[in-house]
Amino acid sequence: MKLPSWLRKTLVAAITVCTFGLVTPPASLLAAKDPPSDDASSSDWQHSPTSRAEEAVSLTRAQFIERTMEKAVAQSHEKFGRKIAPVIEDEFRAVILPRMEEVIAELADRYPEEELRYLAVSENPSGGQGERIFHLYRADTGEDLIRFHVRREHPPQDGYWFQFHYHTCDDGFQAHHELGKIYWSKNTPPNWRT
């Protein structure tokens, strides 16, 4: 007996949620797929358990860059915290983000569109004095590709600066590729994520 698509999806979701993902739903529920309908706005298509994977497969470079930049902004704001973000927000958006976007676009150009689905943005930027904002990595292998960092600089009698840079796997993450600097003040900045 062939179950309606909505019922299969509901059963898969219910089994997954009720067992906290420890039990895999039967293959008959996962494998039985309806032929794609012409109605791309169908709620069944948009909320299917596999919609994320299907959506990732069909990402264009522009979509990949846009989504990666959204995540980059979110990770950056989490890194800055509520004390630093309001002070440097405007300059960060005007100076640093466009350069970050260029670097992400250059990375996207190195991969065929069908492989962009494997590229992901790390979460949990470092706090305290740590430099990590986020990393771009291959989700299928766990390999880091680009590491976006920010460090504090305090040149003698010049106040504090935030120096944004990135490292690439091309040289083993050794070289600092500068994105830009933002001046803080003569006072010591608070720790990240505060």
More confident residue, 9 or 136: 136
Q: Which of 160, 130, 163, 132 is nearest to 147 (CA)?
A: 132
For residue range 93-106, list pLDDT tens digits in order. Answer: 999 999 999 999 99
> For residue 94, what pLDDT is reported?
96
CA 25 from chain center: how many Å? 29
| pLDDT (mean) for 112-124 | 92
Query: How far is CA 16 from each of CA 8, 20, 21, rounded to the nearest angstrom?
Result: 12, 6, 5
| pLDDT (mean) for 138-156 | 94
Beta bridge partners of 164: 150, 180
| pLDDT (mean) for 130-148 | 94
Separation between Cα atoms, residue 51 and residue 28, nearest integer Å = 18
For residue range 5-58, list pLDDT tens digits in order. Answer: 777 777 767 777 677 666 666 666 555 444 333 333 323 322 223 333 444 455
53-62, 86-95, 152-161, 183-192: range with lowest mean pLDDT? 53-62
Q: Where are the alpha helices (DSSP H) in the chain?
A: 5-18, 27-31, 43-46, 51-57, 61-91, 97-109
> For residue 136, what pLDDT is reported?
96
> For residue 31, what pLDDT is reported?
56
User: Hunting for tokens 């979509």 — which residue is that?
Assistant: 63
Check: CB of residue 165 under 8 Å from CB of residue 177. yes
Q: Which of 71, 128, 124 is nearest to 97 (CA)?
A: 71
User: Please, what is the average pLDDT of the chain?
Assistant: 82
Check: CB of residue 161 under 8 Å from CB of residue 182. yes
Q: What pTM, to 2 d.p., does this model score?
A: 0.69
More confident residue, 37 or 1: 1
More confident residue, 119 or 39: 119
Domain ranges of the chain: 5-49, 61-183
